[in-house]
């Protein structure tokens, strides 16, 4: 398949590229980059709406609403198949019937953009988006003009994917599978010369049976880092250490443990964020939580490896603005603070709630959680979720998203989660949807309360509705 694309490119006959599922964040961004490279780009999707639809239209990219064989009547030279597209999609089926040339999005990135650059790949169960955003900012502020692909919107850039003039690509490396025809992890395609491994835990229960299967994917990633490359890993995480035991490249272990080659010490918090000592220097970053300090330390080590001076890094960190939907302040009304977070794994929930405690000390904290990811909809974290959510003062849990797709015996028992939270002495409710949660929550809110909303989706506009009612 790649040979076909290479041949087309060499013969200058690769002109028309069509993306199935073009309105995904990464798909749309790559479509825009391909358009900038001079290709005739089109795409289709069944969810065509702003801001991505506007972005694509402004680029002059034709968007077709819905999936159908006629979308390929213009005979594209290459089809890029999005990760969300599966067999049975009529447009995909037509492409297969006609033996058209296709590839995945990660392959497209590798073929068109990554072969001639130095690539830094950020991986791990938690913290990828924050770490990738912060690392990209350190390179940008050092005037290295990095290209980047991030699974969120960093506020220093206002877009998650951008090609720039520098020689570096900084990519968020997802361990999820690549496409319907390629079940390897996406990060396998990114030609990494530096890899950051933040942590490894069980997640993505729809494609992995256990954490050992996830570790196999990380072992494969470690094996493709060249001998002159580097892996920056979490010295506090046994799984991260395990997968790097057979590495052929240099390892730099970063963490709080005394055994870490590069140790984080003297952690403190203030109104300015978190401060800590690393590499003999004091750093302050406007983020909270031990996990975010660890994320920051990993970026400092990686950036310094590329000769960015520590003094420059010290100056850049306080100017980091954060990421949309990562502990993002959404509004303050009547003395009540509403914040938004993408958290959907028990470890991430626990770490983020602890970080909110640091950011808003002595204030009552409400956690509102939507079981929406492919893992938290299942009973896999039946005991871990109550333990994490009980760190808040009060908890609301909505109905499971797309519950009808799961066998009842496999579903998370939300009522049991609520019961277990109550046993810990905390307030807890299970309500069917966003509107029901708001109705129950509003009479209980007091001045000074903090409401933290956790979901990896839109949660039926809960935050906007809550702020409007406040």
pLDDT of residue 467: 94
Least confident of 103-117, 203-217, 274-288, 417-431: 203-217
Mean pLDDT over 83-109 rounds to 96
Q: Are strands 265-270 and 262-263 parallel, antiparallel or unpaired?
A: unpaired
pLDDT digits (tens, 9 = 90+) for 367-378: 999 998 888 888
Q: Which two tokens stand for residue 96?
A: 């297969």
- HEC readout, 124-142: CCCCHHHHHHHHHHHHHHC
Say whether pLDDT at 206 is over 90: no
The model's pTM: 0.84
Cα dihedral 56→58→59→60 (10° resolution): 90
Note the Cα 17 to chain centre separation in Å.
26
Enter the DSSP assignment of 237.
Answer: -
> What whole-number distance in Å separates Cα of residue 203 and Cα of residue 245?
22
> What whole-number distance in Å separates Cα of residue 296 and Cα of residue 60?
38
Question: Helices then strands (H, E): number in the chain?
Answer: 15, 24
Contact between residue 148 and residue 170 where contact means Cβ atoms under 8 Å apart: yes
Say whether pLDDT at 82 is over 70: yes
Say whether pLDDT at 11 is over 60: no
Mean pLDDT over 346-367 rounds to 91
> What whole-number distance in Å separates Cα of residue 47 and Cα of residue 20?
12
**Residues contacting 130, CB < 8 A, separation 6+:** 287, 292, 295, 323, 326
- Domains, the chain, in order of start with CATH, read 2-105 (3.40.50.720), 116-319 (3.40.1190.10), 328-469 (3.90.190.20)
pLDDT of residue 158: 74
Say whether pLDDT at 4 is over 80: no
Cα dist from 243 to 213, 238, 410, whole Å? 11, 9, 30
Q: Which two tokens stand for residue 228?
A: 């002159």
pLDDT of residue 292: 92
pLDDT digits (tens, 9 = 90+) for 220-253: 999 999 999 999 999 999 999 999 999 999 999 9
Share of the chain above pLDDT 90, in %: 73
pLDDT of residue 427: 93
Query: Maximum CA pair distance of the chain?
Result: 69
pLDDT of residue 55: 84
Say whether pLDDT at 407 is over 90: no
pLDDT of residue 325: 80
Least confident of 402-406, 422-426, 435-439: 402-406
> What whole-number distance in Å separates Cα of residue 386 and Cα of residue 269?
27
pLDDT digits (tens, 9 = 90+) for 244-303: 999 999 999 999 999 899 999 999 988 889 999 999 999 999 998 899 999 999 999 999
> What whole-number distance in Å separates Cα of residue 220 and Cα of residue 451?
41
Instruction: Quote the crossing angle between the two packed helices 346-359 and 290-305, to the nearest 10°.
Output: 100
pLDDT category at 323 given cuts 50, 70, 90 is confident
Mean pLDDT over 41-47 rounds to 93
Mean pLDDT over 109-134 rounds to 94
pLDDT digits (tens, 9 = 90+) for 144-157: 999 999 887 888 98
pLDDT category at 469 given cuts 50, 70, 90 is very high
Residue with tokens 């089926």: 93
Say whether pLDDT at 362 is over 70: yes
Say whether pLDDT at 5 is over 90: no
Contact between residue 168 and residue 118 where contact means Cβ atoms under 8 Å apart: yes
pLDDT of residue 241: 96
Least confident of 15-19, 77-81, 125-129, 447-451: 125-129
Average model confidence (pLDDT) across the chain: 92
pLDDT digits (tens, 9 = 90+) for 384-401: 999 999 999 999 999 888
pLDDT of residue 376: 87
């Amino acid at each position: 398949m790649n040979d076909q694309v290479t041949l087309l490119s060499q013969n200058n006959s690769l002109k028309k590229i069509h993306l199935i599922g073009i309105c995904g964040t990464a798909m749309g961004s790559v479509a825009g980059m391909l358009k900038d490279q001079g290709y005739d780009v089109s795409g289709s999707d069944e969810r065509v709406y702003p801001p991505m639809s506007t972005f694509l239209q402004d680029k002059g990219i034709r968007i077709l609403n819905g999936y159908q064989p006629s979308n390929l009547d213009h005979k594209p030279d290459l089809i890029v198949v999005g990760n969300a597209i599966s067999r049975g999609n009529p447009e995909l089926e037509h492409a297969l019937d006609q033996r058209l040339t296709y590839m995945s999005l990660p392959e497209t990135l590798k073929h068109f953009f990554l072969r001639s650059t130095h690539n830094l790949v950020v991986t791990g169960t938690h913290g990828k988006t924050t770490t990738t955003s912060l690392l990209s900012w350190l390179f940008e502020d050092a005037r290295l003009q990095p290209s980047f692909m991030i699974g969120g919107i960093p506020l220093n850039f206002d877009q998650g994917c951008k090609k720039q003039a520098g020689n570096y690509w900084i990519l968020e490396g997802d361990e999820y599978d690549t496409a319907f025809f390629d079940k390897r992890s996406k990060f396998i395609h990114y030609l990494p010369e530096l890899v950051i491994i933040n942590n490894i835990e069980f997640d993505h229960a729809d494609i992995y049976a256990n954490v050992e299967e996830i570790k196999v994917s990380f072992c494969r990633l470690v094996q493709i880092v060249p001998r002159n490359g580097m892996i920056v890993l979490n010295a506090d995480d046994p799984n991260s250490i395990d997968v790097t035991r057979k590495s052929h490249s240099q390892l730099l272990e970063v963490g709080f443990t005394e055994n870490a080659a590069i140790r984080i010490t003297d952690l403190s918090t203030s109104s300015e964020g978190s401060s800590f000592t690393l590499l003999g220097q004091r750093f302050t970053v406007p983020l909270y939580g031990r996990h975010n300090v660890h994320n920051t330390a990993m970026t400092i080590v990686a950036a310094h490896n590329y000769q960015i001076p520590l003094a420059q890094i010290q100056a850049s960190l306080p100017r980091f603005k954060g990421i949309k939907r990562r502990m993002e302040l959404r509004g303050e009304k009547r003395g009540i603070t509403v914040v938004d977070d993408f958290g959907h794994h028990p470890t991430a929930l626990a770490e983020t709630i602890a970080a909110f405690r640091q950011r808003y000390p002595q204030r009552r904290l409400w956690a509102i959680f939507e079981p929406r990811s492919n893992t938290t909809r299942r009973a896999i974290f039946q005991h871990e979720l109550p333990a994490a959510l009980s760190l808040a003062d009060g908890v609301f849990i909505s109905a499971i998203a797309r519950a009808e797709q799961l066998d009842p015996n496999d579903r998370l028992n939300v009522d049991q989660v609520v019961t277990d939270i109550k046993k810990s002495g905390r307030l807890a409710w299970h309500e069917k949807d966003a509107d029901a949660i708001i109705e129950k929550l509003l009479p209980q809110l007091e001045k000074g309360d903090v409401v933290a909303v956790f979901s990896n989706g839109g949660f039926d506009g809960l935050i906007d509705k809550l702020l409007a009612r406040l």
